[in-house]
Amino acid sequence: MKKETRKNTNAGDKKDPGDQDSKSRMAKRKASPEKKTPEKRRRVTEQAAPSTSTDTHQAKGMKRKAQQDGAGTTSPPKKIKLAEPTSSDKEQASSSVDAGKDCSPNTKGCTKNGRRKSEGDSKESPKKKKKDKTKNVVQNTAADQQREFQGRYVQEHHLGKGGCGVVFAGYRITDHFPVAIKHIPKDKIPIQVTDKNGKQVSMEVAIMLKLAAEADGSVGTSAPVSLLDWFDFGTELILVQERPVPAVDLYDYIKENGGCLPEEKAKVILKQLVDAAKDLEEKHIFHRDIKSENILIETSSDVPRVRIIDFGLSCFAMERSRFRFFYGTAIHTPPECYRGKKYRPGPTTVWQMGVVLYEALHVGDFNTETFLQKELEFNKHLSSHCRNFLDACLTNVPKKRPTLGDLQLHPWLR
């Protein structure tokens, strides 16, 4: 079964929409498998919202693939003080890509009046000495972090490549607890947040630390996978997360079940997913990219259990926050972005619930553009409650969509 990948845009790859193709395309899932290994749909970062024609987004990498094994408990990761989210309508997160680049001409080695220093001028300015000292401290700190990581964890085989980094399987040395180790190059961090000390911190780290601090019970009890540890290697960040086992992502879970799920099985998954999304909303966390590739299904029991992964595009947001740039999967862009409107966390997440449900119940991928053109086919054998739930999530006008709380009370999930 071969699919085109879902293309995404990256915060560091902003281009003039006029220079980009105007179409994002996808291929239907086939009911019968083919010999070729399917390409995974790629995950995105940023898309300018206002455009009546869909911009083609540069693919930044394939989804994180989860082949997991193990369980256990752990101590909480190290903490940082974070600034509380506010109700500002402006996007608070800023891209770290190209931040602080000097746009002035290169004047290295020149004196103040522009003359180049002589070879014999061996005196270093106090400013340069201070800079070198700071650089050495950073290098020493990074080396210490690497030694600490190597003393705690063993990294094994490659799991997958995401939009912002690469993920490996591994385990914790003390108890062989299975972990997923995510490497994120500093220049690939899409969103940063300023902590209370004025230091720039990866938004993904900040989000997962908040989730870890507010989690009830031990590791593995919440829907989002837990952050166990994180390290700063200087040129890259290392995130160590729990690796549930046995588990498979929803995308592959659907494929293994013949390309679509029975309605009752889809209901079990959607009920857990809506509850998890509502919990994130109450914590003022906007995942932004909930889709089948970012949902793990634990298969250790007869009842599948939902886990949410990949908070690389997430951010803190209030209920009435509005965003101009769409961070997520291009073919899942909510209709309001096609109309040049800003989008809100709640209605966008509800839209994504509909996208996930559609793909669970149909042999094929959801595509917003095809949906808006009324060319998307729907299963005629769905129950009336199920079809009503699906239609409600996929309502064109965001104000008319139900809230996540409304979905929890919908007759189909009762």
203-233 confidence digits (pLDDT tens): 999 999 999 998 876 788 899 999 999 999 9
Worst-scoring range by mean pLDDT, 76-90, 375-389, 391-405? Answer: 76-90
Residue range 143-152, pLDDT digits in tens:
999 999 999 9
Give the mean model confidence (pLDDT) for residues 324-333.
95
Asked if pLDDT for residue 397 goes beyond 90, the answer is: yes
Catalytic residue numbers?
289
Asked if pLDDT for residue 269 goes beyond 70, the answer is: yes
Domains 43-66+245-413 and 140-242 share a fold: no
Give the mean model confidence (pLDDT) for residues 171-177.
98
Fold of 140-242: Phosphorylase Kinase; domain 1 (3.30.200)
Neighbours of 158 (CB within 10 A): 11
> To which H or E segment does residue 236 belong?
strand 236-242
Alpha-carbon span 353 to 331, nearest angstrom: 14
- Angle CA(381)–CA(393)–CA(306) in degrees, nearest 5? 85
Residues whose CB is less than 8 angstroms from the CB of residue 115 and which lie 6 or more positions away in sequence, other chains included:
none
Give 258 or 193, the one with higher predicted confidence. Answer: 258
pLDDT of residue 392: 99
pLDDT of residue 218: 76
What letter does residue 200 receive in the DSSP assignment?
A: E
Residues whose CB is less than 8 angstroms from the CB of residue 335 and which lie 6 or more positions away in sequence, other chains included:
351, 368, 372, 396, 397, 398
Neighbours of 276 (CB within 10 A): 20
Give 126 or 225, the one with higher predicted confidence. Answer: 225
Residue 180, helix vs strand vs coil: strand
Residue range 4-26, pLDDT digits in tens:
445 454 443 443 433 434 333 33
Q: In CATH terms, is domain 43-66+245-413 a member of 1.10.510.10?
A: yes
Residues whose CB is less than 8 angstroms from the CB of residue 119 and which lie 6 or more positions away in sequence, other chains included:
none
The fraction of the chain above a pLDDT of 70, given in percent, is 66
pLDDT of residue 83: 39
Residue range 333-381, pLDDT digits in tens:
999 999 999 999 999 999 999 999 999 999 999 999 999 999 999 999 9
Worst-scoring range by mean pLDDT, 100-114, 252-266, 275-289? Answer: 100-114
The fraction of the chain above a pLDDT of 90, given in percent, is 59
Asked if pLDDT for residue 398 goes beyond 70, the answer is: yes
Torsion of CA 119, 124, 127, 130, to 10 degrees: 130
Structure token digits, residue 149: 């990581």
pLDDT of residue 42: 54
Alpha-carbon span 70 to 245, nearest angstrom: 5
89 alpha carbon, distance to own chain's centre:
21
Phi, psi of 398 (to 5 degrees): -60, -35
> To which H or E segment does residue 384 belong?
helix 384-393
Asked if pLDDT for residue 68 goes beyond 50, the answer is: no
CA distances in angstroms from 2 to 113, 252, 321, 349, listed in the order given? 63, 13, 38, 28
Asked if pLDDT for residue 57 goes beyond 70, the answer is: no
Q: Is 71 within 8 Å of 171 (Cβ atoms)?
A: no
Give the mean model confidence (pLDDT) for residues 229-250.
96
Give the mean model confidence (pLDDT) for residues 90-107.
32
Which region, left, alpha or beta, applies to residue 116 given φ > 0 means left and ψ of -120 to 50 means alpha? beta
Residue 127 pLDDT level (bands cut at 50, 70, 90) = low
Give 343 or 52, the one with higher predicted confidence. Answer: 343
Phi, psi of 393 (to 5 degrees): -65, -35
> Domain-by-domain residue ranges, the chain?
43-66+245-413, 140-242
Alpha-carbon span 10 to 45, nearest angstrom: 4
DSSP codes of every residue in 271-325? HHHHHHHHHHHHTTEE----SGGGEEEE-SSSS-EEEE---TT-EE--TT--BSE
Give 136 or 153, the one with higher predicted confidence. Answer: 153
Cis bond upstream, residue 50 (ω within 30): no
Alpha-carbon span 61 to 165, nearest angstrom: 8
Of 317, 373, 368, give the one whose Cα is nearest residue 343: 317
Alpha-carbon span 203 to 232, nearest angstrom: 14
Residues whose CB is less than 8 angstroms from the CB of residue 178 and which lie 6 or more positions away in sequence, other chains included:
68, 69, 70, 71, 169, 170, 171, 242, 243, 245
**E strands, 338-398, in order:** none
Q: Is 385 within 8 Å of 270 (Cβ atoms)?
A: no
Asked if pLDDT for residue 238 goes beyond 70, the answer is: yes
Mean pLDDT computed over every residue of the chain: 77
Asked if pLDDT for residue 105 goes beyond 50, the answer is: no
> To which H or E segment does residue 183 belong?
strand 178-185
Residue 169, helix vs strand vs coil: strand
Q: How far apart are the first and last CA of the chain?
A: 35
pLDDT of residue 1: 42
Placement of tokens 């002589």 in the chain: 118
